[in-house]
Amino acid sequence: MKVVIVMPAYNAALTISSVFERIPNDFWPQISNVIVVNDGSTDNLPEVLEDLKKKYEKITVLTHNPNKGYGAAQKTGFTEAVSLGADVAVLLHSDGQYAPELLQKMIEPIEKGHADVVLGSRILGGMALEGGMPLYKYLGNRGLTFVENIAYGMNISEFHSGYMIYSKKALETIPFVKLSDTYHFDGEMTMMSGKKNLRLKEIPIPTRYAGEKSHLKPFKYGCDVLKIIWRNMTGKYDF
């Protein structure tokens, strides 16, 4: 199967190289392309990416100027993945929070025909707090996920993971270009997976917080999730 990795990157010059280094050597032959979307970074990420391209020939860099947002970066990356004929599209973060070491395990449900969407769950891993997730984020995650499951008629362990794998069918079925340009894109994609009756499989993943800078404001994030629930209830996602 043709596997394409999509990697949004914003001011990730200090972390992105280690993410590539952590991709298992025996997984590289399965990767067709790595699409890095530089979302208007203001650090020296362009120079770092030029060096990485010399080492990893499968890298393609797409650039937003100015910054358009995390969701917009994914839209650009997934649109390119679809145009390349990807059978599997992997969302992999450039800050190293989600383990590249698990790539093979993450894509297996799609490769074996058991799922259309795979979500890496830090909650199923059972080590979220031990892995450094702040207590307020853990409690917020649990509370929002509880409400979202009720609102969307789903039953998953978390809506707020950024480790997502999509099949060709999923990207062709979900009108992802109509979704948010923000950090809520992942949650909307999970919601739309349920609305489109796609098969979703969760894989336990470790939690890793290494002091990376968060661009999220927790209170606003929670309020925005509740707004998305309301918008869904009023038919705004019926497309």
Q: Are the beta carbons of 152 and 191 closer than 8 angstroms?
A: yes
Q: What is the pTM of this model?
A: 0.94
What is the pLDDT at residue 86?
98
Mean pLDDT of the chain, nearest integer: 95
Q: pLDDT per residue over 40-59, tens digit each?
A: 999 999 999 999 999 999 99
Structure tokens, 60: 């393609």
What is the pLDDT at residue 193?
98
Decide if 238 is inside a domain: no
Contacting residues for 101 by C-beta, under 8 A, at least 6 apart: 22, 24
Q: pLDDT per residue over 76-116, tens digit each?
A: 999 999 999 999 999 999 999 999 999 999 999 999 999 99
- What is d(CA 133, CA 144) in angstroms, rounded to the nearest whole number? 16
Q: pLDDT per residue over 177-235, tens digit each?
A: 999 999 999 999 999 999 999 999 999 999 876 555 556 688 899 999 999 999 999 99
What is the pLDDT at residue 53?
98
Q: Which domain holds residue 114?
A: 3-233
User: What CATH number corresponds to the domain at position 135?
Assistant: 3.90.550.10
The domain tally of the chain equals 1
